[in-house]
Amino acid sequence: MDNEKLPLEGVRIIEMGSLLAGPFTGRLLGDFGAEIIKIEAPDKKDPMRDWGKQKDGHGLWWPIQSRNKKSITLNLRVKEGQELFKQLVREADAIIENFRPGTLEKWGLSYEILKEINPGIVMVRTSGFGQTGPYKDRAGFGSVGEAMGGLRYVTGFPDRPPSRIGISIGDTLAALFATIGCLTALYEKKESGKGQVVDTAIYEAVFSVMESIIPDYLLTGYIRERMGNILPGVAPSNIYLTKDDTYIVIGANADGVFKRLCQAMGRPELSDHPKYATHHARSENMKELDLLIEDWTRTLSAETSLKLLEEHGVPSGLIYSAKEILEDPQYKSRDMIITTQHEHLGDFPMPGIVPKLSRTPGKVRHVGPESIGKHNEYVYKQILKISENEMNRLKESQII
């Protein structure tokens, strides 16, 4: 890295809100050097501090979600706290918030007011349904966004109710789009000198990755349904049981890759068979084709079948739990499992940085601050130039 300088160094972002979507946006920006100042209420910590598994009384999700951030306390529900926040806005480039729409307006902290204080401020707003529309006032968690964005409808098996993915995918998708919006607005500000609002709705973030479901329906009348481990019209792409009762994933839906799969199976003639020679033919005969492939994988161990598939250039792999991830040399070689010091737990493992930048890569400088308001002194004294006496008064008044 050139002079160890991070690519977003010098960008100061105030993070408001709690739990997932907003804070995950802050985590992503902080990974690449943005100074993230996270606000928590003096009397109400972010619930994320207690989410996930616990080790010796310490939550194991918070150190990851809040890594690289500074923690301050500030009561935004009272006038004096709101005035302090406005002072912070003068010194910031962007704000991240994920309150229900109208909350900041109720506190006298609308974008219209804040842009008068700092015309270049970028306000990144993430909510269930966005800042406009008939549903804007509804509470909207990621689970609801996943449902109304169309994802839950197609997740699971056809003979069972809709299922969820095993992570909070709606919130993290929204955070990814919010991060893109934030960076786009900051880039545009270099030209215009003006900030703007980045409005991300969770249901829209989910809907945006739902591929062709709308033209499928409007132009052909087709509604994609739950299909278990397959994708409609894409074959072969499934899980297959091996001789040692292990499932492996094989994706060989492109014509060239399918030919290589047939060679690996010792059945090269299948690639020219009318039922399997083309993408559409394989789609129409998906079940039959999957049975043929599993008849082959059942004769081999997972290790042997994966070795054969790799030799023939066929995308394939095991289905990993955390245990297999930690043992995999690819994860290790790309620094995807990193260890940072935790104040109470010592060495703390967590996921590495994504994406990888060749010249100015991101960096995890520290885990999420263990104590609430750990950086009050730095932010209020060094950035806002508040005196020691005034700091004591603000603490006694429970403003900070």
Residue 109: name the closest of 132, 87, 140, 136 by CA.
Answer: 87
At 74 the pLDDT is 98
Fold of 2-209+333-396: Rossmann fold (3.40.50)
DSSP 8-state code for residue 347: E
Strand pairing report for 122-127 and 346-351:
unpaired
DSSP tally for the chain: helices H, then strands E:
17, 13
Q: Give the C-alpha separation, 376 to 185, whole Å.
A: 28
Q: Where are the domains of the chain?
A: 2-209+333-396, 237-319
What one-letter code names the amino acid at 387?
S
Measure Cα distances from 38 to 130, 318, 360, 368 in Å: 22, 39, 24, 10
Strands (E), the chain: 12-15, 35-40, 54-55, 58-59, 69-73, 94-97, 122-127, 197-201, 237-241, 247-251, 316-318, 337-342, 346-351
Residue 246: name the closest of 175, 353, 320 by CA.
Answer: 320
Tokens of 392: 């004591």
At 2 the pLDDT is 46
Give me the residues of the chain with pLDDT under 50, please.
Answer: 1-2
Strands (E), 261-357: 316-318, 337-342, 346-351
**CATH number of this structure's domain 237-319:** 3.30.1540.10
Q: Give the C-alpha separation, 200 to 46, whole Å.
A: 21
Q: Are 270 and 217 in contact (CB under 8 A)?
A: no
Q: Is 171 part of the annotated catalytic residue set?
A: yes
| Torsion sign, CA atoms 132, 137, 143, 149 | negative
Catalytic residue among 93, 171, 199, 290: 171
- Residue 214's SS3 state is helix
Q: Give the C-alpha separation, 275 to 290, whole Å.
A: 12
Q: Give the C-alpha separation, 213 to 223, whole Å.
A: 7
